[in-house]
Structure 1
Amino acid sequence: MMNKAQKLLIAGCVAALAGLGAVQGALAQTMPSPAETDVVIFGDIGAVKVLTYPARFVSANLETREAVFESADGKRWEIVVPPGVADLAALQNSEKLTVRLLPAVVTNIAKAQSGKPGEVMNQTVVNDGLPGLPEGYGLLSVTLTTPFIGIEPETGSITFEGPDGQVRTMRVFDAKVLQILKTMDPGDLAQISYMEGLSITTP
């Protein structure tokens, strides 16, 4: 059974990782191009990309855990760092770091049998890690009820409104989930499950 401190830490992780999703969506056009793109195989999910960004630490808001980084070309960008991923107070200005992002990937889709549009059915931190990911990855697993805004079965791309109100576009890689996607249409109310994550390490 978790003690109060553990429960508070997990709650903080959930809030911060949820913020990560909002920031990734809002800054999609301003993030630098990754220095490396690795493909990791996750069991039933399939092949997903992990994006690597060499960066220097600029500043951080310790309350909101919003951190600003700078890439080699001087371009600055901001992300929300979950508790447990990095000790922001210990980071030094201009410190060299490696930031790795796991962009959100869809893990399951089903026609909604219950729930209201926008309702989060499940939101948890996956703290046992996944094979192929660097140590210290903060992972968030979300299931929510929401209507599809757009569906592209050929590419596995779906668009919907996330729990933070941001419009999100994600990819489906799992062959079984792709077959389910072909039975759905824009406007259908669905329960969508996805996972996303972040790690920050020294080079």
Structure 2
Amino acid sequence: MAETALLATRRGFLALAAGTAVAATLPVAALAKSTPPQSLTLKGVGQVLVESRVLTIVSIDQSSRDVVVKTDNGDQFAYRIAPIVGSLAGYKPGEKVTVYIAPGAVTKLQKVDSGQKGLISQVQLDISATGPLPENFWGTSITMNVVLVDVNTDHKTVTFEGHDKLLRIIPAATPAVWNDIAQIQPGDLATITWIEAMAFIPKT
């Protein structure tokens, strides 16, 4: 339960401080020495908290840059690792990595009448979409089919479980997106797209 509730216990858009350094490509050794910030700023969203979890590498696809990882309880999923991380040759199955995630905002949501939950795409964003990010972080836009857990009309947020089994509570990016969210109910199946920042750093 601790893994699942990791993001649910904190509102990703209420943070205390912002990171300002522009991300740079670093080798694995340099990444390991960096200290990620506790919060950062995403363009159009504002300050968001940075959450972290330690995972074990299961497999690495050097071509697609998809890295399958697993939690301590055996849940497996894949992250698409941005080129900013550099070569993945230094990572090996069985090694521990720390993944840092800063949930941003929902940019699109549409109710669907049928289908299955699951990841549809992960697309890297450039800084024109996210604004400058701290060292080692990159922006990503994720689309998947989810079953909504909650819709909070007071805070204009939606709660759902991501492909990595983390529960996200994040706001709509625009009033138009919120209007779409407000039309659906918890338990509905929807195709949702959201942005977030993340970093993938070897655990030392």
Compute the TM-score of the two structures, normalised by the length of structure 1. 0.51
For 1:60 and 1:117, the matched residues in 2 are separated by 26
- Which residue of structure 2 aligns with residue 124 of structure 1? 122
Q: Alpha-carbon deviation of 1:178? A: 1.0
For 2:191 and 2:55, the matched residues in 1 are separated by 35
Q: In the alignment, does 2:153 pair up with 1:153?
A: yes
- Pick aligned residue for 1:36 from 6, 9, 17: 17
Instruction: Check the 8 A contact 1:37/1:49 in 2, yes or no.
Output: yes
- Which residue of structure 2 aligns with residue 47 of structure 1? 45
Q: Alpha-carbon deviation of 1:193? A: 0.9
Letter in 1 for 2:116: P
Instruction: Check the 8 A contact 1:85/1:199 in 2, yes or no.
Output: no
Letter in 2 for 1:124: Q
Q: Alpha-carbon deviation of 1:118? A: 0.9
Letter in 2 for 1:112: V
Q: Alpha-carbon deviation of 1:166? A: 3.7
Q: Alpha-carbon deviation of 1:185? A: 1.4
For 2:158 and 2:198, the matched residues in 1 are separated by 22
For 2:126 and 2:139, the matched residues in 1 are separated by 9
Q: Alpha-carbon deviation of 1:124? A: 2.2
For 2:160 and 2:50, the matched residues in 1 are separated by 26
Q: Deviations over 1:117-172 (max 9, x none)?
A: 3132x312324333522376322221112221211122112122322344332222
- Which residue of structure 1 aligns with residue 181 of structure 2? 181
Compute the TM-score of the two structures, normalised by the length of structure 2. 0.51
User: Over aligned residues, Cα RMSD in angstroms?
Assistant: 4.3
For 2:121 and 2:163, the matched residues in 1 are separated by 10
Q: Percent identity?
A: 22
Q: Deviations over 1:161-198 (max 9, x none)?
A: 32234433222231111111221111222111111113
Instruction: Check the 8 A contact 1:82/1:138 in 2, yes or no.
Output: no
User: Computing the radius of gyration over CA atoms, which structure comes out larger, 1 or 2?
Assistant: 1
SS in 2 for 1:179: helix
Instruction: Check the 8 A contact 1:149/1:160 in 2, yes or no.
Output: yes
Aligned residue pair count: 146
Shift in CA distance, 82/27, structure 1 to aligned 2, threshold 3 Å: farther
Unaligned regions of 5+ residues in structure 2, if any? 20-39, 60-66, 70-78, 91-98
Instruction: Check the 8 A contact 2:146/2:161 in 1, yes or no.
Output: yes
Between Structure 1 and Structure 2, the one with more helix by share is 1
Query: Which structure would you say has the larger RCO, counting Cα contacts within 8 Å and 6 or more residues apart?
Result: 2
For 2:107 and 2:183, the matched residues in 1 are separated by 17
Instruction: Check the 8 A contact 1:36/1:52 in 2, yes or no.
Output: no
Unaligned regions of 5+ residues in structure 1, if any? 1-22, 54-58, 67-79, 90-98
Letter in 2 for 1:111: K
